[in-house]
Structure 1
Amino acid sequence: MIDNPALLIAMILWIFFIPNAVKLFYRFVRNNKQFIEKDLRRIPNDPKIIFQITTKSATKTSVVERGIQSIIDSCKSTKYGKYEILIVTEDPKDIKTLESMPCKVLCVEKSFSPNAIKKARALQFAIESRRKLKKQNSDHWIFHMDDESYVVPQTILSILKFIREKKGIASEGPIFYPLKFEKANRITALAESMRAFGCFECVTHMHNPPPIHMHGSNLLVRSDVEDKIGWEFGPILAEDQRFGYELFKKYGRNSMGWHGGILLEQPPLDIKDHFMQRRRWVIGNLQNIENFSRLFKARLIYKCTSFFLGFVSGVISLALAFYINIPKIMSVFSYASFDWNNNINFDLYLWFDRIVHINSSYNEIFRPLFDIQVFDSTLALILLFSSTVWLLGYQVGLFLNLKYTRIGRSKRISLHIQTFLLAPFLGLMESFPAFYSIIEFYFFKLIRHNKLKSYDFYVVKK
C-alpha cells in the first residue's frame, strides 16, 4: 500500500478526475462528426436574423468594427440579405463612431433599471426595444456576439440550415480563439486551447439540456423565445448559463440544438485578464447554484469541485515530480567535475552508465500504483488514460485555434511542443482562478451572513 501521505492524497485526487476524463474522451469521439457543420448548401428560404453585438463601448473597443465587417462580408459571400446588425452599447459616443457602418446602434439608457446588471442589463434593454418595434416574434432570430466575435461564411450557412430544419428554438456552435493569437501573452494564448476542446462537451449539453455551460456568444435564439425568458435574473455574472436553464424549464428537452457554425474570438491578452475572466465564470456558477434542480445542482457542484481540486492536485503532483526527479537529473549531470582553472573532466562511460541505471529503474511517482493489491497495474493504466485525455485536450484545442490563423507550419509544431511541455503549468493557471474564487465566494458569504458581495463584471481588453 501507499505509505507516502502526499502521494496518497495525489492518488485520491487523480482517481476523482477519472469519470471526467472518460466523459470528455467519449464526447470528443462521439461528437466529432457534428462538431463543425460540413453539409452546407445555400437554399434561399431566408429567415430574418438580427446579428446583435453587445458591448460596453465600440469607441474604446475597435474590434467591434471588425466583427461588423465580418458579418457584411460573410452574408455577401453566401448571398444572404435579410439580416440586420444591432450594436447594443452603453457608450453614447458609439453613435458617431459607427455612423459610417451599416448597423443600428442602440444605446442603453442610464435610467433603465431592470432586475439585471452589466451585460444582462444591456441584453434586457435590447429585448424591450425589439418589443416596441414588434420584432419579438417567431419570424426573427437573434444571433448573439461579443465585442471580438468574428463570423465566417460557414457560420451563416450553418445557422440558416438550423433554422430551416427546425431542430430547435435555440442553438450554439463551437468557438475558437485564433484572433490576436500572436499578440496575446504566450501562456494565455496556449491556455485557451482547453476552451476550444471543451466545446465538444457543449454539443452533448445542447442536445441533452439543460446545458451546464452555455456560451453568451455564438448563441442563436428565436426572438419571441428570448422575449419570454428575458435576462432579468438578478445581480449574477453568468447570465448565459441561467438563460439556458430557464429556457429548458419553459420549453423542454427538445428546445435546444447544435448549429455547428464556428465563431472566431481571441484569447485574453494578458494574465490578469485571463484570471479575471475565469474568476467571473466561477463566481457566476456559484451564484446560480441555488436556483437549479437537485440533479443539475449536483452536476454543477461536481464541476466546481473538479476545478477547485484540480489546482490542489496540480500543486501536489508538481511538488512530488520535482522532489523525486530533480535529484535524478542532478545525478545525470554530476558526471562533469569542475576545477578553478575551468578544466572539465568528462567521463563519457560513467555518464552513459548513469543514464542506463536511471532509465532501468521504476519512477518512484508511479511505483506505488503497481503495488496496490486490489487494482494492481490496472489502476495505473486508468490513471495514465486520464492524463493522456488531459494532454490530448490541449493538443486538439490548440490545433483548432491555430487552424484559423496564418501561422506557418514550423511555428505551429513549435507551439504544440511548447503546449506539451508547459501543460502542468497551464493546468495550474487554468485551475487557480477557480480555487481562489470558490474560497473568496464562500468567505464573503460566511462573514456577511449570506449577504453576497456585489461582484463586478470585469471587461477584458480587446
Structure 2
Amino acid sequence: MTIYEILWLIIAPAVILSWYYLIRGWKSFIPQCNDLPHNPYPHIIFFITARKITSLLDESVKSIITSCHKCKFTDYEIKVLADEDGKLDGAEHIIVPKDYVCASKFKARALNYSLQFTPSSPDVWVLHLDEDAKITPQTVRSIVNYIKKGGNPVADGPTVFTYDGNLLTYYVEAQRCWTYFWVKSQLEDSRVYWMNGSNMLIRSDVEHEIGWNFKGIKFSEDTRFAYEVTKKYGKVFGWHGGVTIERPPKTAGAAIRQRKRWFWGGMLQLKQMPAFRLPRRLYSSLCWFLGFVLTMFIPVGIANHFILAEELIPTGVGFLSIGGVSLAGILWLARYQCGLYWQLKYSQASWIKKFGFHAGLLVLSPIIEFICTIPTILALIRPPKVFEVTDKSTNGVHSTSSIVLDKATEGLANS
C-alpha cells in the first residue's frame, strides 16, 4: 500500500460522514416557509458588522427593509457596527471608539462593545450578518417561525453564493456550501465543532450572558462563542433555516487569506473547546490539511504517466478504485458538485448554463481543492496576525438579481 492510499484511507471516514450529512439534511436545508405565524412576534435586531460603510452594506440594509415589508413584519430594527462612520440610511450606526479596550481583539472587540446598544431579554433576538449578506422574505419567515416554535437560543442558517464574475472563487464557495450540512447536523445535535458568524441567530439574553470578551481572541470569535455557550448552557443550538445571499471573495488570493484565517483561528481555539470533542475537531483539521497533500499527488500522477512514462513515484490507488481512479477521491470532489447545485438551484440561469457551471467545476476541481487547502500550509508556516477583511467588492457581474427562490421559499430577485 502506497502513502497515497494510506492518506485516502485516513480521510475516508470524513468522506463518508460528509455524504451522511448531505443526505440527512438535504430536504430540510432550506425549509419551506410560506407564512408568518400568528402574533405576538419576537423583536428581531438585524445586526451587521463591517469595517466601514460601503455600497455592499447599503444593499444589505435595503434587503432587510424590503423583505420585512413584503412579509408585513414590523417588529425589527437594523443596527450597523463599524470602525468608521459614513452615510447610510435605514439603520442605526454604532461606531467603535478607537480607545475602547477589552480582552478580545478585532471583530470580537467590536461585538463586545456593541452589547451596550442591545437589550438583554429573552424576547429579543439578534441576527448577526456580514456586510455583504442579503436576506429574503424566506429568511424573515423562517426565523420568526423558528423562534415561535421554541427554537434553541443559538442557531445558524444556510447561505448561497452568487456568481460575481470570478469563476474560481464562485467554485471555492461551492466547496464552502456543502460544509453547511456539517454545521446543520452539528447544531441540530448540539455537538458544535465550529460555527458560522454570519446568519447566526442569538437570543439577546444569552449573548449578553456570554459576551464577546475572550482573552486574546483574534479570529474565529463565532466558534469561541459557541464553545462558551456549550460550557454554560449545554445543548442549546439549532438550525433556523433562513437563507442569506452572499458574494464570493473578489480574488483567489482573498479566498486563500480568508481560509488561512479560519484554519488558524480554529487551531487557536482548540484548547477552549470541550475536551471530549477535541479528537473529532483535530481529525477534521487533519483532513483539511491532507486535502492539500492529496491534491499534490495529481501533478505527480500526471508526471508519472505522461512525462516519466513509468511510476517512479508510487501513487497507486489499488483499493476501492476503478481504472486507477480512487472512489474516495470521486466522492470527495463530488461534494463540490452538491454545493454548486445549491448555489444554482435558485438561479434564473438556463439549464445549459447550469450544466456548463457543473462541467467547469469538474475540470477545475483540482485547482479549487488547491485553493481551499493551501491555506492550511500557509497558516502553519506564517500564521495571520491581524483580522484582514475579505474583499467582496463586485467583479463587474451584478448577479444577485438573477437568483430566485422557488415557490417553497419565495423569490430572491424581488426581495
TM-score, length of structure 2 as denominator length: 0.88
| 1:85 and 2:78 are equivalent in the alignment | yes
3-state secondary structure, aligned to 1:53: strand
Structure 1 pair 327/102, CA: closer, same or farther in 2 (3 Å)? same
Q: How many residues align?
A: 388
Number of the residue aligned with 1:38: 32
Number of the residue aligned with 1:242: 224
Number of the residue aligned with 1:422: 364
Greater shift, 400-409 or 25-34, is seen at 400-409
Matches within 5 A, 1:372-451: 379-380=320-321, 384-441=326-383
Distance 1:150 1:211 in 2: 25
**How far did 1:369 drift?**
4.7
3-state secondary structure, aligned to 1:386: helix
Contact 1:53 1:86 in 2 (8 A): yes
3-state secondary structure, aligned to 2:296: helix
Number of the residue aligned with 2:407: none
Number of the residue aligned with 1:26: 20
Residues 289-311 of structure 1, C-alpha deviations (whole Å, 9 max, x = no match): 11223322222211221121211
Indicate the structure with greater helix content.
1
Structure 1 pair 383/209, CA: closer, same or farther in 2 (3 Å)? farther
**How far did 1:212 drift?**
1.2
Residues 189-232 of structure 1, C-alpha deviations (whole Å, 9 max, x = no match): 11111111111111111012242121101101100000001111
**How far did 1:256 drift?**
0.8
Number of the residue aligned with 1:285: 266
**How far did 1:36 drift?**
1.0
Residues 86-112 of structure 1, C-alpha deviations (whole Å, 9 max, x = no match): 0111112x2xx11xx221111111221
Contact 1:282 1:434 in 2 (8 A): yes
| 1:189 and 2:130 are equivalent in the alignment | no
Give the aligned residue type for 1:433. P
CA RMSD in angstroms, aligned pairs only: 2.2
Residues 324-365 of structure 1, C-alpha deviations (whole Å, 9 max, x = no match): 14678xxxxxxxxxxxxxxxxxxxxxxxxxxxxxxxxxx999
Residues 367-404 of structure 1, C-alpha deviations (whole Å, 9 max, x = no match): 9555xxxxxx6x43798442232232111111211234
Give the aligned residue type for 1:416. H
Matches within 5 A, 1:116-195: 116-130=104-118, 135-178=119-162, 181-183=163-165, 185-195=166-176
3-state secondary structure, aligned to 1:35: coil
Residues 115-158 of structure 1, C-alpha deviations (whole Å, 9 max, x = no match): 1111111111111232xxxx111111000000100001111010
Gaps of 5+ in 2: 393-415
**How far did 1:455 drift?**
1.1
1:75 to 63, 68, 93: 68
Distance 2:365 2:78 in 1: 40
Gaps of 5+ in 1: 3-7, 329-362, 371-376, 442-453
Number of the residue aligned with 2:411: none
1:113 to 101, 109, 121: 101
Distance 2:201 2:258 in 1: 23
Number of the residue aligned with 1:57: 52
Greater shift, 29-38 or 314-323, is seen at 314-323
Distance 1:143 1:257 in 2: 14
Distance 2:386 2:308 in 1: 46
3-state secondary structure, aligned to 1:176: strand
Structure 1 pair 148/368, CA: closer, same or farther in 2 (3 Å)? closer
Distance 2:270 2:315 in 1: 40
Contact 1:309 1:435 in 2 (8 A): no
Distance 2:78 2:207 in 1: 17
